[in-house]
Structure 1
Amino acid sequence: MKFLVCILFLGLAAAGIVEVEDCGSSAEIVSLEFDGCDEKPCSVYHGTHATGRINLKANSPTNTLTCKLAGVVGVIELPFNGCPSDACASMTSGDCPVEAGETLVYELDFEILDLYPTIEVTAKWRLLDDNGDDFMCFLLPIVIKD
């Protein structure tokens, strides 16, 4: 039993649960686990993948979810092609079509390419519903490092 408790504790330490700023989600953001992050800004490194899980509760139905990712620097929002467009394929719990009241777990995975500048930026991660509205939208400060 002690072994299982230790494994669980180590898993939670490796996947830091971080608070995010909701930027207009229709779904409820229950929690975000961002691997390797225990304080903001979260550090991500060139040549690696930023990964984690977001737990959501749907407040409205949708047949599809489309991922959009941007970096916000000051007032400038720069789109990234870093997340697979079909967000339904990245669900490890729940599926599409999404029903109101359904609990979802979306796996985050974004490659930090060497061509990205070493910079502090706010990641804006969105999942769009059938109408192009924000099913999920959150802001998370990150710093890209070598």
Structure 2
Amino acid sequence: MSLSLVCALVVVGVLATCFCEPINFKKCDGTPDIKSVDISPCTAQPCKFHHGMNVTVSVTFIAAKNSVGLTAEIYGILSGIPIKFRMPNPNGCQSSNITCPIKSGDQYTYSGLFNVLPTYPNIRLTVKWDLKADDNSYLFCFLFPMEIDT
């Protein structure tokens, strides 16, 4: 293996470690287990995001059921009240790294994106991110702390 190839692999590994970290998350009550959650860019918790940023979430899970369609949702929870965030693409079968239909017992890695819009207030909150099967049951659901500022 050439020295330049080794150097390139080391650089890619370091960048991946710096910009996408497994986070501590809380699984929503009564929902299936999650293997891992990675959020980029988030290197410490609460995840601190600025207006105009694009945030990528990667979730590895085992499908608890078969499903032809998938729907992703994001909520900001303030004083116990969930407020729905706008997603660029809530269809979990498109641009998500998952090919539908999904099969019960198989492992999948969902990739999702949301934009921190300039209209969002500077705030600290809990985020709920979920993926639902076509019967509206959870395939995964998790919570994590987030802070938005300018």
Q: TM-score normalized by structure 1?
A: 0.89
* 8 Å Cα contact 1:71/1:121 also seen in 2: yes
Residue 59 of structure 1 pairs with residue 70 of structure 2 = no
Aligned residues: 144
Q: Which runs of 5+ in 1 are unaligned?
A: none
- Quote how far apart the aligned CAs of 1:6 are: 3.9
Partner of 2:23: 18
Partner of 1:132: 136
Q: 1:23-62 alignment to 2 at 5 Å? A: 23=28, 24-26=30-32, 28-62=33-67
Q: Which runs of 5+ in 2 are unaligned?
A: none
Of 117, 121, 126, the residue aligned with 1:122 is 126
- Quote how far apart the aligned CAs of 1:59 are: 2.4
Partner of 1:9: 14
Q: Distance in 2 between matches of 1:82 and 1:91?
A: 12
Larger Rg: 2
Runs ≥4 in structure 1, deviation > 4 angstroms? none
Q: Distance in 1 between matches of 2:116 and 2:50?
A: 6
Give the RMSD, CA atoms, in angstroms.
1.6
1:110 is matched by which residue type in structure 2? F
* 8 Å Cα contact 2:96/2:112 also seen in 1: no
- Quote how far apart the aligned CAs of 1:47 are: 1.1
Q: TM-score normalized by structure 2?
A: 0.87
